[in-house]
Structure formats: structure tokens, C-alpha cells
Structure 1
């Protein structure tokens, strides 16, 4: 990130965002302003640990420095929650406005959606022992984060695909979604149990550098452990190979969604470039923490990929991988030509996997009534029918 000329923004005259800048970047800025180096630490801490939203609020910096920064066009630059929709199940979907006017969507799921079950981490233990945990004194929630404005992968069952791709998000815009939501809910990092899933709009591994910069920023400066983060990819093999070498990395989830290349190519055209077997080979190169499993996401589409022979093929693919499967009942959207599987088909699919030694869980749909569930994010700026939800300013 270059604080002197924000090339990541399309308009050079745009305000210069500070949120997301590394300590090294801020140190160079303070050097140019002829300030002592501890001022850089103060500013970086105010931005990312305290999550301050205005230069005026950074009282650790002298007024003169704040005025100089403002005069040079610097702003905090955290994404703004422009609209909020609330589901009957407590899920909240936010339309996030970025500095250049573009928008993405971010989701808050109190209690989570069960996606961590069986992955061998503390978050999974919390999910599996929810009834015995004392939750009165802390929040437990999952935040679903976007990594691009739109998406280029073109999965046929996903509303976001209809947007196409507009641009990548910067590291500050990715981490800034988290900061904005944490502020809204007054979350105390280190006490409250917050999980992050990079499963919103966009393919994180097609914006790999900014995604990983955001991860490192959140781990080192916002103090959110990477073991509480999960990144989902449709299968960008070169990025998976880079990911395997990262010393700091979230848990990995792969959107598989089919048991053979023929079906997967039809619903996920990216399969033409990277087939299932090369994808599984790349995933196997990613080192796992003790007891950790790779998650394979499988969206069940009625009479497309939900039949008994598909379950048998999936067992054959995954039997020698340290894997768990999250089954996701397809979440409908307008003009998407699929149907939900029957409850009987879902149960039979899950039981076949489990009977053959593969842990399989059915993810709870969260926020389906407000288009906040998996595959439903679409930069909603129009008001849905009143029967679904009332969208109000944040």
C-alpha cells in the first residue's frame, strides 16, 4: 500500500485511506512529516486495534499532526455501512460503501452457521458444545467477508456471478469490513468469540496478494487468530500452491459442489481450467494444524448433484484426504434455474458419506429471507418485497 499515491483507487484525487496501511507504510509517512517514530505506532494502533473511525478521535496524536494529515487528504477510510437488512433469525446483511463509491456486502451471523463443525479447531469445539457453553458474558458470531466487487468465477447457481467482476478490494477494504462490523456490535477481540469466513462476494484466491495482506493485518494488528478464519476457494490452483507456503494462513475450504468433472464444469465453468483431480492434489499440499481437516463445501442442487451415485463418487474422491464435507442446501435466487433437493435426498447424501467414514455436516442457512445466505449476495441497493425484509439506513 502506497500512502503517498493511492494507486489502488481509480481516482487519484480520491481521499487517501489510512486503514489497512502497514506499520512500515505509516512509519515512512511519519518520517516524511518529520515526526518521531513512536507516532507511527500510535497511529497504527489507533487504526487497527482501537478501530477508530475519525482522525479527530486519535487523541494520542497531537492536534497539529491530525490537521496536517487531514490537509493532505488522508482519511481513516474504513468501509461505511450504508444499509442494513435484518433477518428473522438475527442475521444482518450490510451494504458496505467503499471510498470510490463501489459497494460490497458483508454478513453478521450471531452464533454462526455450523460451518466450523468437525474441522478440528477451537471454533468447531464451540459449535459442537454450544449447549454446555456459558455464553452470557461474550458474543459468539461469524462474519462473512467479501474480497472483490462482484465475481469472475461465474458459478451458475450463485447470484453474485450475475454481477460479473468490477474490481479487486484492497487489503484495507477487506479487513475494514471486519472492523466496521466489530464496531457496530461493540465486539471485544480476545474476549468475544468471532470467526471470519472469506465466503462473501468474489473469489479470494483471484485477489490473493490483497487477501493475504488483509489476513496478516488482522492477525498481527487486529489480533484475530488465523485459526478463527476460513477462506473458501472455487479451486484456483496456483494460489492454493502459494497458500501452502504461507506461515500465517486461515483454514481452507474448497467449493467442490460436484463429484465429477462433467457435472462440475456445467455448474462451475472454472473446472475447464482446473479439474477436480489436480485440485485435490494441490489441496493435499497444504499443511494442516494438529487435528485440522480441510473443508469441502458441497451445494446440493436438486436432481443435479444430489443423487446416490454422486454421493458414492464423492466418497471415492475424498476417502484418502483429511477431509470433512459441509452440505449446503441450495439457497434460491431470482432467475437461477435450479431447485432445492428434497429433505430425503439431503439426509440420504449425508448418511452415505458418514457411513463411509467421511464427516459430513449440513450447514444451517442463515439470512435466507434477506438474501444473506450462501450464494445470495448481490450488492442489493433496491428494497426487496416487504414480505422479505425492510432495508433501512445503518
Structure 2
């Protein structure tokens, strides 16, 4: 009986075949390699967007626990529109921070652009599209004047733009005159910037699919270029993981937006501009000059770069984006007043760029830094509004997050210097 029991006992499972072992081994090596590379980047002070993503996740978790409407489709959709105006201004601040300088005039320039548009369109009957173009060009002109002054006199940019803050605010008040508040057409072109939504669900999902495809194609082509010249490059596994992460985020965002009113036009314009400017900075000769200038002005000058021209162009870009941001802010409330561009707008724009990961020392950061930073700041503001928390507390929390970002930037800089990368 004992022998029969032994004979009828289930046989042990067969060992995995060589194919399964190879696949498991390759996956394990890929994960281990990614983990080792990540730890090395952290030790070298290259944490990337991880700190701000953790802060954003913490903010969302806390406010969702305090108010169940925080992560509702309605509130997230409003959040997506609210970040656009200040976010565009913050992107301009990123350009200036990349060369190791600071633009303090962006708030006043945004108010000036909005005032120029309102007076031309409402008081002088200029068509909206033409008034919009002139308003944006006014911001470009203001930035160019400041950039030329900074580049030629070599006075620190924050001093030049501090003078610009006062000057452009005065010009804005002169443009508005005694009119006070100018109400815009609530059904006009500018009002549509923040009031129009693509209600068809397919539009949001199509944009998500295009974004995913663009990320994969960009990463793959970059890998091929680096591989062709023997430079370090991402593995196909890393590219696929990155693309999958973007796909999850993009389609989840599309799903949430479609549960309310659909994809906001303002958010679409914002993301397209940010992506285009990111390509400008990371894939063009001009962008490489900006980063080189942020690394060392003297080294850039010895490399025969036109330092003055790049400095002027960077301040001009900042003024242009400030004007665009000012138009979106005016569109949100469909009015322009003598207080446009004032208050905490400048502080929020600078804080968004720094919180998002742009270095105060220059040479490190992307346009997406501004997106992450303004998302953190606006999430705090939105959560505070839902929980009826005083504005004073909001400012304290935002200031604390900004201070933490500056400390992380400083520690990262020291770590890079220790590793010979700064």
C-alpha cells in the first residue's frame, strides 16, 4: 500500500524551460539596472522631477482626505484651466533662470499686454485677433528692451527687470487711464480661450494618443541619434516603460476631463506650447546655447557664442510668454483692471519655476518644470478654497514648499560638484 501511495503521488512541477528562464533573467537584469542607475542619479544630485511629484501626490492625498470633491472631474478640469495663465508666465521665467538670471517684470508685462488688448478692442474697436497680436508684441518689445539693456550694460537682470516692473506697471496705468476696469466681450475670441471645451470624448482620447506617440517617437529617434555617434543612450526597455507611463497619465487625464465638460481649449494650447518650447530648448542650436550660457557665461563667450544675442532673446521670450499668460488671465475673468499683473502673480510664477525643478544656479531645468510647479501651487490654492482655509495659510504653505525646493536645489548642486558635474 505504501508503494502504491508513492506511485500515485502527484509529480513535482517541471522546471521552467530555457525560454522562460531567459525572459525572467532579462527582465530582472533590466529592473536591477534601472534601480542601480536611479540610485546613482540620486547620489549624484540628479533626482529629476521625483521630489516635486512626491509633493504633488502628497498635496492631492491630503486635500482629497479633507474634501472628497478635490479629485472630482469638475475640480480637476477647473484646475487644468487655472494653471494656464500663471503657468505660461512661469515658462518664461524658466528661460531666464536657465541662464542664471531672474526676470522680476513678468507680472507687470502681463498686465500691460492685457491693458493694451482691452483698450484697443473695447475703446478703439480694433478686431480681437489684431488687438491680441499687438498685445503679445507689446510683451515681446518690453522683454527685448530689457534684454538689450541687460546684455549691453551687464547690469544684473534682476536689477534691469526690477526697473521694468515699475516702468511697465506705470505704462499699463497710463494705457488704462481713468477707466479703471475694462470688461471684455464674454462671447469674444479672447473669452473663448478659457471658456471653450471640446465636448466630444474622442478629442481628448485622440490628443492622449498623439501625446503618447510623440513621446515614443521622440525618445526612439533620440536613441538612434545617440547610438549612431556612440553616445550613451536609453535602452528600448526604458523607452517602452517611459511611454507606458505617459500613456497611463494621458488617457487617465482624458477620461477624467471627459467626465465633466471635455478637453479645455486653454489646457490644450498650454500643453502644446510647453511641448514645442521644450523641443526648442532641448533639440535646437538656440536651446543648447541657452544651457551653455547657464553653465558658464565666460566659457560660452570663449566658445564664440553670441552671449548678448542669446541674453536678449531669452528676455524677449520671457516677455512674450508673460504677455500670453496675461491674456489667459484676462480671459479667465473677462476683464482688465489697474490691479492686473499685480499681487502674488510674480511670486507664484517664480515659485512655480523653482518648485518644478529649475535650478536657481542656471543650466538645469525644462519647460515642464513650470507645469509641475504651477500644478503644485494651484493644487494648494484649490484645496484651500474647498476647505475654506484662510489665504494666509496658503501663502505659508506655498512658501514652505518653495523653501524646500530651494534647499533641494542647493543640495543637488553640492552633490553634483562633489561628483564633478557642476
TM bracket (short chain): under 0.3
Indicate the structure with greater strand content: 1
Larger Rg: 2
Q: What's the TM-score once normalised by structure 2's chain length?
A: 0.20
Q: What's the TM-score once normalised by structure 1's chain length?
A: 0.21
Higher relative contact order (CA 8 A, sep 6+): 2
